[in-house]
Structure 1
Amino acid sequence: MKAMILAAGRGKRMMPLTSTLPKPMLKVAGKPLLAHHIINLRQAGIVDIVINLAWQGDKIKQYFGNGEAFGVTIQYSQECEGGLETAGGILHALPLLGEHFVVINGDVFTDYDMTSLTQLHLEPGEAHLVLVENPAHNPDGDFALRHLGPDSQKYTFSGISRFHADFFKGLTPGVLALGPILREKLAEYQVSTELYLGQWDDIGTPARLDELNQRLAVK
């Protein structure tokens, strides 16, 4: 199984930290966010990784190369300036990803065990989302747990998921957001969900990055 790490975003809310650096290269506990993801994936036995690139993507290539130094194999999916949004980026990278793959947002920090995603059984066209408790910046959440019904409490999408490639069948390449597609497929019972209660942080602002590093420093 392969994994895709989404790293093409502009990171405007992280300015000025991202003026010359892609957001997933910002450091947490002394290592780039991307390095934490690669380590977690390798520990789960996922060693074939695709990283999409747009803003300052050359910095990612220079640091990680082909992945050999990190015990993995890395391929890069180059996007146009400005990127293609999440679904558009995945669709663009599909030829590199195979039938089953994990997707992780490059700008989150988590200790979620990716091994559980490798053990899921997905039918063609299905997807699975990892949800987390709602942080202060997203109090209303994104999606409900499927087994509780669409009108139950909503939780926040962690940016961690697994897809069967056919989930994206019929979509038109280009700039394309993932959220509306997930909502449509959830209503059609093609998306399963789970709630993760462990370590998870969305590195969306410089203040959140500082807070996370301070918390980790005192552990």
Structure 2
Amino acid sequence: MKALIFAAGLGERMRPLSLHTPKPLLAVGGKRLIEWHLEKLAGIGVREVVINTSWLAEQFPATLGDGARWGLRLRFSYEGDTPLETGGGMLHALELLHEGVDPHAPFIVANGDIWTDYDFAALPREFDGDAHLLLVDNPVQRPLGDFQLENGRIDNEGESRLTYSGIGLYRASLFDDWRAVLNAALGDTADAHRTPPRFSTVPLLRASAARGRIGGEHHRGRWTDVGTPERLQQLDAALTAEQHA
């Protein structure tokens, strides 16, 4: 199984720290955020990880190398000066994710600017549908959540919605008729007609969930969207204190 780590964002909420360092390369607990993911992925047998890049893209290969230190092969999917968002970025990376494997095989996706104690080994190796998403309790910055989870299936509406963690399993089938899905959800958008196109996965996930093609699970452990300098500092302090306890 391969994996994709989203690392192309501009990190605007993390400024000034992200002016010179991409968010996923900022450190907490003595490791860069992306390194926590790479260690976990290597630990469950993933051997190839695609990292999408844009902002300060040259720092990723310069800092991480080819992945050999983790027993991984790292591939970099450069998106140009403007990040392609999650949907465009994933679509752009599919060629690398499919290289040498069954194009219907699932792959792991993780946002490069989150930290969690979730064990990636708990992700199912097989699942029905287009995606399997890890949901978490709603953080203060997202009180209404994203999706309802009931009996292992994800719905768009519900009274006790949870927040998408930024970790999941995906299949390329999520992108079947993606232009039609975007047009139905958003109308005819210029970004979708760019080369390469720029769009979010959210409309695709919601359309797939409406068809009953997305499963999920609820992680009740620790999870942080490390989106601001304050949250980065708080997480670093907590992890450092635990290491020295």
> Aligning the two structures, in what range does the TM-score lie when normalised by the shorter sequence?
over 0.9
- Letter aligned with residue 170 of structure 1: D
The residue matched to 1:103 in structure 2 has which SS? strand
Q: Which residue of 2 aligns with 1:169?
A: 176
Q: Which residue of 1 aligns with 2:119?
A: 113
Q: Which residue of 1 aligns with 2:96?
A: 96
Contact 2:178 2:204 in 1 (8 A): no
State the distance in 2 between where 1:92 and 1:16 align.
Answer: 29
Contact 1:110 1:201 in 2 (8 A): yes
Q: Which residue of 2 aligns with 1:201?
A: 224
Match of 1:134 among 125, 131, 138: 138
- Letter aligned with residue 109 of structure 1: W
Residue 109 of structure 1 deviates from its aligned partner by: 0.3
State the distance in 1 between where 2:65 and 2:113 align.
Answer: 19
Contact 1:146 1:186 in 2 (8 A): no
Contact 2:174 2:204 in 1 (8 A): no
State the distance in 1 between where 2:55 and 2:87 align.
Answer: 17
State the distance in 1 between where 2:222 and 2:158 align.
Answer: 26
Moved more, 169-178 or 203-212: 169-178
- Letter aligned with residue 231 of structure 2: R
State the distance in 1 between where 2:227 and 2:217 align.
Answer: 23
State the distance in 2 between where 1:216 and 1:116 align.
Answer: 22
Q: Which residue of 2 aligns with 1:62?
A: 62
- Letter aligned with residue 144 of structure 1: Q
State the distance in 2 between where 1:122 and 1:111 align.
Answer: 25
State the distance in 2 between where 1:79 and 1:37 align.
Answer: 21
Structure 1: tracts of 5 or more residues without a match: none
Q: Deviations over 1:24-69 (max 9, x none)?
A: 0010111110111000101111121000010001111101121112
The residue matched to 1:18 in structure 2 has which SS? helix
State the distance in 1 between where 2:230 and 2:166 align.
Answer: 20
Q: Which residue of 2 aligns with 1:182?
A: 205
Q: Which residue of 2 aligns with 1:53?
A: 53
State the distance in 2 between where 1:129 and 1:2 align.
Answer: 16
The residue matched to 1:166 in structure 2 has which SS? helix
| Aligned alpha-carbon RMSD (Å) | 1.4
1:145 is the counterpart of 2:152: no
Give the % identical residues.
Answer: 40
Q: Deviations over 1:124-150 (max 9, x none)?
A: xx1110000011111111111043753
Contact 1:146 1:192 in 2 (8 A): no
Q: Which residue of 2 aligns with 1:159?
A: 166
How many residues in Structure 1 have an aligned counterpart in Structure 2?
217
Contact 1:8 1:83 in 2 (8 A): yes
Contact 1:145 1:152 in 2 (8 A): no
The structure-2 alpha-carbon separation of the partners of 1:175 and 1:36, relative to structure 1 and needing over 3 Å to count, comes to same
The residue matched to 2:17 in structure 1 has which SS? coil
